Amino acid sequence: MSTHSWPYPHIVAHRGGGKLAPENTLAAIDVGAEWGHTMIEFDAKLSQDRQIFLLHDDTLDRTSNGWGVAGEQPWSKLAQLDAGSWFSKAFDGEPLALLSDVAARCRQHRMMANIEIKPTTGSEAETGRAIADAAKTLWQGMTAPLLSSFSYEALEAARQAQPDLPRGLLLDEWDEAWQAKTAALDCVSIHLNHKLLDAGRVAVLKAAGLHILVYTVNDADRARTLLKWGVDAICTDRIDIIGPDFR
């Protein structure tokens, strides 16, 4: 059972701006702040030359005008890409974001962060270490960012590098070994696809001493039900209807 505190709010803006801005960009973080959100979730990985930047997919194709595996390209090339125009013309020219710039935005907006470690295949441990070390430095003087990952190896590397940073294990499918894995990683939380939960399962997880963050909840009634069951945090794309004061 983790001894970490839980300073995080009930509502977390998915990938910065949810459905209102191009995901994982500084513009998205600004949109989340405009809607009053006090915590964002985003995905981080390493470039070929070990710069930490934001991107969900392994490849650039879906959310930029680039193509190919992002982690196999240097930051000098990635920095030239347009990561906004795919979403709308209003965001033409929006660049990919470095983790250091995101930390500065969080400081500016007084926002908390859930950093999902998204390693390129084969770089799990390296990515976990690098992101944990950077997060420890960049978020000094702010609420510690909550690190999460689907990769056990990446989270274990993050734990070894910066054991004081809180961690959450991500699961998209139920894993009967959840308790052993979260205990071994000294997780403060477990992050689950909300469809995996019912009231009984929430009670079991809470009894094990875990906080629960769920994704991606875009229906207000479902969000209320989850909170009633005892879920601690809801990650949402609908940052306009499931706002920071949502109950």
Q: Is 35 helix (H, G, I), strand (E, B) or coil?
A: coil
Q: Which of 10, 37, 56, 191 is catalytic?
A: 56
Asked whether the beta carbons of 93 and 86 are under 8 A apart, the reply is no
Active site residue 56: yes
The closest of 148, 39, 18, 147 to 87, measured between CA atoms, is 18
Structure tokens at 3: 């001894």
| Helices and strands in the chain: count of H runs, count of E runs | 8, 9
The phi and psi torsions of 40 (rounded to 5 degrees) equal -125, 155
Q: How many other C-beta atoms lie within 10 A of the C-beta of residue 40?
A: 30
Dist CA 75 CA 20 (whole Å): 26
Q: Which value, in Å, is the radius of gyration of the alpha carbons in the chain? A: 17
Which of these, 209, 212, 208, lies nearest to 228 by C-alpha position? 212
Catalytic residue among 10, 14, 37, 194: 14
* Whether 4 is catalytic: no
Cβ of 180: how many Cβ atoms within 10 Å?
10
Active-site residue numbers? 14, 56
